[in-house]
Chain A
Amino acid sequence: MKQYKIMIAGAANPHIPQYLRGCAPAGSNRQLVAVSDPDPQRLAAARDLVGAGADAVAWYGDYHAMFDAHADADMVIIGSDNRDHFAMFCEAVRRKLHIFTMKVISMDEDECREMLAMQAGYDRVIATELELHFHPQFIQARDMVRAGAIGELQSVYLSNISQSPCNYYPNWGTPELSYGKRVALRPGATVFRGGAITDHPHPYDLIRWITGREFRSVKAMSATNQRSALEVEDHAAITGELSGGVKYFVNPSYSNLEEQVSARRLLWPKSLECNLKITGSKGYLSADFFDRHCYVVGKNCVSPDRLIVELAPRYWGGADDSRLGNFIAAIEGRRAAPECSLADSYAAVRVMNAAYESLWHDREIILDV
């Protein structure tokens, strides 16, 4: 069985801890060989997350040096700040690596189109992390919509509300790092693009994936920030129309508060709401991210002495059905393509930027077909 050597380039993304802990489970055909991050503190934290196996992993402050030292590696997980995704992607393509990149691929649409152009003819696999494709309730929703159980679609509602990661990933609150540049939310505003809208591509991706429809119009509003110290927006609400006249509503906000400490601790008891509601001529469907949940209170819990909502354990399907398993399956030809593509991410980025434009111009934005 082929053994895949994995590098992680950048530990700036809040999802990277999941891969540091779990990208190469015991007995799998994957091995984490190297991790890079330019921030020594973040690199040390990444090393702690890997734990007992950390000595078997090489640690670098520069991803070029890591790529040079591991010419035999098969793939890279790109986990840097959004701003640096493009440069890392180009370097990974130059070195013929399989690429698994955190979302968003870039908020710069020119860069997104360049990445798509590079992908054409590239003989390695490229995937993006749009992880909600793997949750059974959303898979079921998609199947039911596609099978006609809802009938003719009338409206889709999807919230993607979380706490802000900016306390424990302070880089996430820096506009240049998350959005790629400093752009005021509105003319003269002291809040900048790069917050909740940039961090939440799932609603646009899931709505497209579940309904098969494209976004046609975008009207957005953003409230005064709940967190006065935050430079990026922490609230947005968006409505408009999909192809075929279906109405949608999306809330991609950081409007669930966290404790004001440098660790990840919830104040609102639920870390994430992804509440999907679909109305149609035949029926109605609703599902939430925490569709099978437990309430936990514990003095040594991640949010000590506070009731929080956690996911109940779930069964996964086969090995090919996990995020990285699916990626490997595409590499090995068991799938024609990975579940989540660059094109999926780019489609979401277009709607997200349209939401920013709607806020800037204070009007509806029509998306080109």
Chain B
Amino acid sequence: MSAVKTEIITPREAAKRSDDGAFCPAFYWRSFPVVEKIRDLAGGGCCGDLRSLRFTASRPRKHAVDEASFVYDRFSAMLDGAGFLAGAPCRKLYIEKCAGANNLFALAEFENGVVAEFEANECLPDTLPDIAFVKANFSAGHITNQPLVGYFNEEGLLYADDSSCGQYIADNALTSLAAGPFAWMESRFALAVERGEIALGKLGCDRWLSMIAEVLS
């Protein structure tokens, strides 16, 4: 253990320092376990050679910092995370930032041919949680914590504003959005009945009810 405590400072502060003191910039993406996992497995050749990276950092407005801190401190930490994985100097950087908002897209190309893409924002409705994903695409595999489907993996269509966050399901034959899987099931069932796709009669309900009653008695 070092006797001198290392000072974690913002990347902007660190860039200005000219002393050889015990400090480092807050490049915290290096310690994101997903990044560590990618680096560990990549180092062992598990998935072949790294080709491209996808970084997603979406946050609600309540976690926003000022625009300069967002771009120069927080986004630079994402870039560092990509560089940490790419293992080569960055050759070119494109940034598209929304004016007056902590919301940007960026592309970075590294000298070894790896390209990283970035979606960074902290302007979402406060009803949404933080999400942080990284996907690493290799010549012979993938490593990621990105959900297989959508934003939370299961939600259908997500709409959020500052008062609520809803998970809806659109279905062409239904007249309105279903507010979740149960509303969706019920609406689809009603439509199936209307279309004559469901057999008429008890559908075995008497048997189910008697079995339940028997078990519970």
Contacts and interface: CB of A to CB of B under 8 A. Distances in A.
Interface stretch (B16-24, B35-43, B95-103, B200-208): B95-103
A155 B171 contact: no
B114 A139 contact: no
Contact of B160 (A224, A284, A291, A321): A284
Nearest to B150: A288
A257 B148 contact: no
Contacts of A317: 172-173
Given A284-B161, A286-B151, A247 B51 contact: no
B106 A137 contact: no
A279 B99 contact: no
Given A284-B160, A291-B169, A316-B173, A225 B51 contact: yes
Interface stretch (B2-10, B62-70, B71-79, B134-142): B134-142
Contacts of B112: 224
Given A269-B148, A286-B150, A157 B105 contact: yes
A342 to B, nearest CB: 25
Given A247-B96, A314-B172, A321-B172, A283 B113 contact: no
Contact of A287 (B51, B109, B156): B156
A226 B139 contact: yes
Given A235-B52, A279-B124, A315 B115 contact: no
Interface string B29-68: 0000000000000000000010110100000000000000
A290 B154 CA distance: 9
B149 A226 contact: no
A240 B96 contact: yes
Interface stretch (A55-63, A64-72, A164-172, A215-223): A215-223
> Considering residues A137, A141, A228, A235, which has the most beta carbons from chain B within 10 angstroms of its beta carbon?
A137
B159 A149 contact: yes
13 contacts: A139-B170, A144-B159, A154-B98, A223-B115, A223-B137, A227-B139, A249-B117, A279-B103, A283-B161, A284-B128, A284-B159, A285-B159, A315-B171
A292 B96 CA distance: 32
B169 A257 contact: no
B158 interface: yes
B166 to A, nearest CB: 10
A224 B121 CA distance: 27
A154 B113 CA distance: 31
Given A139-B170, A155-B103, A315-B188, A223 B160 contact: no
A317 B173 CA distance: 4
B25 interface: no
B80 interface: no
B157 interface: yes
A236 to B, nearest CB: 9
A64 B124 CA distance: 56
A364 B155 CA distance: 36
A14 interface: no
B174 interface: yes
Interface in A156-179: 157
Give the interface size class of chain A.
35 or more
The 10 closest A-B pairs by CB, nearest first: A224-B113, A315-B173, A136-B170, A223-B115, A283-B161, A249-B105, A288-B150, A223-B52, A140-B170, A237-B117
A341 interface: no
Given A227-B139, A251-B117, 15 more contacts: A136-B172, A157-B105, A225-B51, A226-B139, A247-B97, A267-B141, A268-B142, A277-B151, A279-B121, A284-B125, A285-B158, A287-B150, A290-B148, A292-B169, A309-B148
Contacts of B148: 269-270, 290, 293, 309
Given A245-B99, A282-B161, A315-B172, A219 B94 contact: yes
A239 interface: yes
Contacts of A286: 150-151, 155, 157-158
Contacts of A255: 51-52, 137
A139 B171 CA distance: 10
A248 interface: yes
A245 B97 CA distance: 10
B132 interface: no
B105 A290 contact: no
Given A137-B156, A144-B159, A239-B107, A290 B149 contact: yes
A210 to B, nearest CB: 13
Nearest to A138: B170
Nearest to A358: B94
A137 B121 contact: no
